[in-house]
Structure 1
Amino acid sequence: MLLPTTEFALLRRVATEQASGRAPSLVAGLVRHGELVWSAARGKVDDAAPDTLTQYRIGSITKSIVAAVVLRLRDEGRLDLNDPLDRHVPGTHFGSTTVAQLLSHSGGLTSESPGGWWERTPGGSWDELNASLGPDEVKHRAGRRFHYSNVGYGVLGELVARLRGGPWLDAVRSEILQPLGMSHTTARPSGRHATGYAVHPFADVVLPEPEHDAGAMAPAGQLWSCVDDLARWTAFVGGDTGEVLHPDTVAEMREAAVIDDSGPWNSGYGLGFQLVQVNGKRLAGHTGSMPGFLACTMIDPATSTGAVAFANTTSGVGILSLTADLIATADDHEPVLPAEWQPAAVDTSLLELTGLWHWGPSPYHLRVLPNGWLDLSPAVGGGRASRFRPLGDDRWLGLDGYYSGETLTVGRDADGRPHHLDLATFVFTRTPYDPSAPVPGGVDERGWQPNDPTTSEA
C-alpha cells in the first residue's frame, strides 16, 4: 500500500502525460519488491478505462524476453556467448558475429530488415530474411560500436529455434511466460486489447494502425502484454527471477556491454536490457514501440522499485521519462527503508582474514559476508572495491568492480595463519609493503625513510 499523497502524485504524472501526449489511452503500474502495488489509467479502450489485464503491444520488450531464453541456453552449456553465429546458424554473411554481440547490438548489423518497413509489413520466413541480408547489410565492424539492430534479434530468434528444435515462440512460452505466470502475454491480441492509433499532429483525430505477424522479424517486437504480466517481468529484471534464471545471470544481463555513443553517456545496453541513468538512478529494462503503441518497463535494482507503462499511440508520449518519473516519485515520497540489521550466520573460521590489509601504502578493509563471501574495500575514500565468492582451497572469485572475474588467493605462513593476499598479482599485506611478503619488485631493505634515501646518502 502507498500513501494517498504518493498515489495522487503518481496519478497526476500519468494524467499529465496522457493529456499532453494526446494518447487515446494510457495505463501504468508501480512495482515494489516484486509486487504490483499501484496502477492507474486514463483514456478509453472500447469506451471504458483500461485495466491491468488490458493488452497492448509491447514491441521491443520482446527482445529482453528472447534474450532470457538465450541466457538459459548459455547456462545449460548449449552455447557460449563468445560463439560465432556460424557455429549454430550457418549460412549467413555475418557468421563471425558472436552471440554476445547480437544480444548487445554491437554486431554491426543493419538496424532494419531490407524491403518494406517490417513493423507495418507482414513478415516472411527465416530463409527469406537471411537471403535479403547480404554483405552490404553489415554496417559496422562487429564490436566497434552500439548500433541498434532489430535484425539481430530476428537472428537470435532463429538461433533459439535451432537449439530448441522448435519455434522461438514455443520456447518463450514454456521457459519464460508460463513459469512466471505471464498468461496474458501473447503473440497476437487476445481478449480485451487496445487498438493502435496514430494521432494527427495538428488535429484531435486518430487513424488506426495495422497489426500483423512479423514472421522472422517477430522476435524483435511481436508480443502483446498487460500491466499485470509486465509487472512480474519487471520484478524478474530486478532479480526476482523464480526458477527461470539465476539472479547472477540476470545481473550479468544488466551489466553495460556497450555505451550508446550517439549522445551524452547516460544510456547503454546489456545482454538484452536497455540501461539508462536518469533522476540519479541506474535503471534496467526496455522500451517498446510499434505502429500504434508505446510501452516501457524499467526497474531500479538498488531499491526494487520499478514501473510499467503502455499507450496506444504511435508517438507523442514520453514513455521512458514517464516510467522513470513514476519510479523516482515513489522513492522520493516513500523511500524504501533499509533492511533491519541482524547478526548473520557466517563461517567463523574466516574471521582471521578480516580487518586491515594494505595494497602498497593504501589501506583496505576485508569483511566476511554470509555464504563465505568476502568484501574488500578501501578503508577511506573511493577506489577498487569488490565482493568475492568462495572457490575453495583459500581462493575466491571476484564478482564486481575492478576485480570482477579475478581470483583472490590467501597466502599463509608456516603456522597456517593468513600472511598475505594475492589478487591478480597485487599483493595485500597486514602492514604497508611487508618485507616478509612476496611483494612484486621486492621491498628496499633499508625500509621506510624520513625522505628520499638517495638524497640523505648524499
Structure 2
Amino acid sequence: MLQTTEFALLRRVAAEQAEGRAPSLVAAVVRGADVLWTGARGQVDGAAPTADTQYRIGSITKTFIAVLVMRLRDEGRLDLNDPLDKHVVGTPYGHLTIAQLLSHTGGMTSEAPGPWWERSVGTDWPALLDQVDETVLKHRAGARFHYSNIGYGTLGQLVAELRGTSWLDALNTEILAPLGMSRTTPMPEAPAARGWAVHPYADVLLPEPAPDTGAMAPAGQLWSTANDLARWLRFIAGDSGTVLHPDTVEEMRAPAVVDDAATWTSGYGLGFQVWRDSGRRLAGHSGSMPGFVAYAVVDPATTTGALTFANSTSGVGVTALGNDLLKLVDDYEPALPAEWRPLTEASPDLLALTGSWFWGPSPFVLRLMAGGWVELRPASGGGRGSRFRPTGAGEWIGLDGYYAGETLKLHHHTDGTVSHFDLATFVFTRTPYDPKAPIPGGLDDGGWRPGD
C-alpha cells in the first residue's frame, strides 16, 4: 500500500495499543485474496507478534459452527424451521427452531448454568444438560434478539449428532482443511499469545486461564491467526470455495434480526453479525474470552476487510479499531470497480427477452447476466427488483430483494411466441396491460382511451 496509508494504519494501531494498554495487538487489512497490510504493537514472548501469532478468537468460533449447520441444511439433513428436538432430544428448549438458535432469537439465556464457563474447565454435553431447566428460557421465542452462548453450545452438539463425530472433527474436515486454515486450533499452538488481565489502576498484569470449555466450546473455544482469518474473511465475502455455495453465504449475511432497533446499525444473520456503517453493509463477528478480544469484519461489496486481535481481557477497542482501519483504507485507497468484460456466451433466446417489460402500467427492465442469470428492476431504478438464477427451461429463482425465493416463469402463446412472465402471480408483459396476455381481473373491452 502507499506509505501514507500504511502510516495512517500503523498510527491508529499504535494509539489503540498505548491507550488501551494492550500487552500486544495485531491488525491486518485484506482485500480479495490479498493481505494488504499487517501491523503489530507490543510483545509476545519478548518479540513483536506477527500475522502467524495465534490469539484466542472467542465468539468468532460461532461463525464456523453456523457454517457447519448450513452445510447440513444444504445437504438436506435438516431444515432451518425444524424444532431442535427433531435432532437433539432431551432439552427443555426443544421447541426452538434451528434458525432461532442460529440468529439468537430463541429467547434463551445468554450464559451456561454453573460457574463462569469462559474461565472454567468444561463438562461434556450430558453433564451440561443436567444443569439446564426451564429457567433457561428468558423471552418468548422470536420476540427479540438475545445473544445466547448456550444456544451455540447446543448447535455444536447438533453438528456432532448429525455427523456422528465431534464438531471439531467436522470443522477440521469440512472447513479448515479445504480452506487451508492450518493455524486455527482448539488449543494454542506456538507461536501464541498468552491471555492477560490488565489492572484498571496500575500497569501490572494477571494471567488469565484458557481451559477447554467442553460442551460450551462451540461458543468460543478457537484460536487463530491473522493469516488464517484473512481466508475466513474472503469466505464471508462470498469466496467460499467448495465449503458452501455463495448463495448460502449471502443468506447467512442477510439480517434476520435487528440488535439496535432505534438506529438499525447492527443486527444478526444466520451466524454472522451484520452492520451498516457509512453506507456500507458489513459482516463478520467480534469475539472475547478472558485474556483476549478479537474482531473480523468485511465489506462483501468490495471484499475489503479488517482483523484485530489483542491479548487483554478488556480496555482494548478492537471493534472500533477494525472499523477505523476499514474506513482508512476505503478513504486512502478505495477498491477499484470490477473490470467490465463482455459475456463469453449469450443465448439468442435470452437476448430476445431483454429490455422493457410492464407490470400493469409500470415499466421494468430485464437484463441478461452471466450464466443465464437475469435481473428484473423497475425502469426508474427504485422499488421492487431482484436477481434471478436459472432453475430450468424458462424458469428462474429470485435471489435477493422483494422476490427472493420466488419463481419467475416464462409463458408462450400457442404459436410459440412469448406471452408473458409470471412472478408470484404478477404478470409482466411486453406492453402495458397486453390484451393478449392473461391479465388477472381481465381488461376493459374499450382498452386505453383519452381522459375526459
Q: TM-score, normalised by structure 1?
A: 0.96
* Correspondence for 1:439: 439
Gaps of 5+ in 2: none
| CA displacement at 1:99 relative to structure 2 | 1.1
* Correspondence for 1:418: 418
CA contact (8 A) 1:279 1:324 kept: no
Residues of 1 paired with 2:338 and 2:449: CA distance?
Answer: 48
CA contact (8 A) 1:268 1:275 kept: yes
| CA displacement at 1:377 relative to structure 2 | 0.7
* Correspondence for 2:270: 271
Which shifted more, 425-434 or 362-371?
425-434
| CA displacement at 1:449 relative to structure 2 | 3.9
Residues of 1 paired with 2:341 and 2:52: CA distance?
Answer: 40
Residues of 1 paired with 2:117 and 2:333: CA distance?
Answer: 43
Residues of 2 paired with 1:265 and 1:81: CA distance?
Answer: 25
CA contact (8 A) 1:35 1:235 kept: no
| CA displacement at 1:351 relative to structure 2 | 1.4
* Correspondence for 2:340: 341
* Correspondence for 1:355: 355
| CA displacement at 1:263 relative to structure 2 | 5.2
| CA displacement at 1:339 relative to structure 2 | 2.1
Residues of 1 paired with 2:387 and 2:381: CA distance?
Answer: 17
Alignment of 1:29-40 (within 5 A): 29-40=28-39
1:111-143 Cα deviation digits (max 9, x unpaired): 101111111121111112112221111112222
Residues of 1 paired with 2:428 and 2:278: CA distance?
Answer: 38
CA contact (8 A) 1:268 1:274 kept: yes
* Correspondence for 2:177: 178
CA contact (8 A) 1:9 1:329 kept: yes
Alignment of 1:237-248 (within 5 A): 237-248=236-247
Alignment of 1:5-84 (within 5 A): 5-84=4-83
Alignment of 1:53-452 (within 5 A): 53-261=52-260, 264-344=263-343, 345-451=345-451
Residues of 2 paired with 1:410 and 1:174: CA distance?
Answer: 42
Residues of 1 paired with 2:132 and 2:142: CA distance?
Answer: 19
Residues of 1 paired with 2:440 and 2:317: CA distance?
Answer: 55
Residues of 2 paired with 1:35 and 1:285: CA distance?
Answer: 18
| CA displacement at 1:80 relative to structure 2 | 1.5
Residues of 2 paired with 1:342 and 1:58: CA distance?
Answer: 40
1:386-412 Cα deviation digits (max 9, x unpaired): 011112232111111000010111122
Residues of 2 paired with 1:430 and 1:421: CA distance?
Answer: 9
What amino acid is the match of 1:10? Answer: L
- The runs of 4+ residues in structure 1 deviating greater than 4 Å are none
| CA displacement at 1:262 relative to structure 2 | 6.0
| CA displacement at 1:381 relative to structure 2 | 3.4
1:73-100 Cα deviation digits (max 9, x unpaired): 1122221111111111111111111111
What amino acid is the match of 1:214? Answer: T
Identity %: 64
